[in-house]
Chain A
Amino acid sequence: MNTSLWIALVCITLGTYFIRVLPYLWMKQKLAKSQNNGAISNMPTWLTVLGPTMIAAMFGTSLVPAHPDTLSWVATAVGTLTTFLVWTRTRSMGWPILIGVMVFGVITLWFLRKTTRQI
């Protein structure tokens, strides 16, 4: 990489870091100020709404398979449903994810084997 490319990399690195750290520092200061004034330290409501909606949006985008064919959509739907059903029983993080990935993997491999045999 030449010098100008290194400068661009440094700008992106610092910019990304500031995007992450400055809003945190701003909120920290806002919370400390409201605590000092004896007020209840509340976050703006729109921020408390945007947090969960961001995670829901990440869930939505991550559902789209890398190769969106019928097989991948079926495997994704069954894997997601399995994850949800296991979660309703365990209310934990580890087992639903592990079993969801295993079911997704079994369906993917089963379909792949079937397709290879037909060829």
Chain B
Amino acid sequence: MSTTIQPLFRSPWVQGIKDAIPLLGGYIPVAISFGLISMQSGFSVLETILISTFIYAGASQFLFVAMVASGAPLWLVVVMTLLINARHVVYGPNIAPYLDKDSRWVLLMHGLTDQIFALAHARLPQLPSEARIGWYTGAAVLAWFSWIGGTALGAIAGGELTQRWPMINDILPFALPALFLVLIIPRCNNPLWALTIAASAIGALTLKVLGFPNIAIPAAAICGAVVFYALKNQRIATGY
């Protein structure tokens, strides 16, 4: 994929939905698991669906129901869930240069999850500026509805579903690493960026395997940025 602007052959909304379809492979199984775990933690179907509708951030939702179920103080629940979501602070500024002055963007930021950011960061620069809000709305709304729908499914029939079709949990989630790979690989077009991307990816994988899933993404991203600046400074110092 390139960063040159490409003409759209269908409506921006439809293109956004089409581009976001691979996300469903990752969203729906995780949402079903969340629905199931939330019910087991003592929340009702309606409460479970409302948590997914309003918080709309996977890891922090799991932490929220787990901490509430374990009887943790509520102020600590709020602080910990917001800390997990703190990585989202870099997403808005990164896509801001591609967004026009339309005030609807302020509301649409509710849908700026990890995956929608990754998709938007790669696709928005390729779209004509007038098509971007339609494209983003299509992609973000599909992802949001699939998250809410998956949660409802998990809350109502999660146990039976995962027993009858184990592939929901075993196979479909591979769509996420495949999506991230095709989004990030065009960036590896020179040794500096290839090493930076590799350092971030390997760092995150290692941290998650070692049992630190919640800090893996921000810590590995910072580690990748350190590698970027170290290599860049070295290049400047050696004159290359």
Contacts and interface: CB of A to CB of B under 8 A. Distances in A.
A52 B184 contact: yes
A38 interface: no
B47 A49 contact: no
B85 interface: yes
A9 B97 CA distance: 32
A80 B173 CA distance: 13
B208 A16 contact: no
Size range of the chain A interface in the assembly = 35 or more
Interface in B147-185: 167, 169-185
A13 B122 CA distance: 27
B contact patch SS: helix
Contacts of B213: 61
B203 interface: yes
Nearest to B180: A59
A91 interface: yes
Interface in A75-104: 75-76, 79-80, 83-84, 87, 91-94, 96-97, 100-101, 104
Contacts of A43: 93-94, 96-97
Contacts of B198: 56
Interface residues of B, number: 92
Nearest to A8: B74
B106 interface: yes
Contact of B82 (A7, A19, A46, A96): A19
Nearest to A88: B185
B112 interface: yes
Contacts of A24: 91-93, 95-96, 99, 105-106, 109, 112
Contact of B96 (A28, A100, A109): A28
Given A16-B57, A54-B218, A62-B177, 19 more contacts: A13-B55, A20-B109, A20-B112, A21-B109, A25-B92, A31-B97, A43-B96, A50-B225, A52-B193, A53-B221, A54-B90, A56-B187, A56-B197, A61-B208, A66-B173, A83-B181, A91-B1, A97-B22, A101-B178
Interface of B: 1, 18-19, 21-22, 25-26, 43, 47, 50-51, 54-57, 60, 64, 68, 74, 77-78, 81-82, 85-97, 99, 105-106, 109-110, 112, 114-115, 117-118, 121-122, 167, 169-185, 187, 193, 196-198, 200-209, 213, 216-218, 220-222, 224-225, 228-229
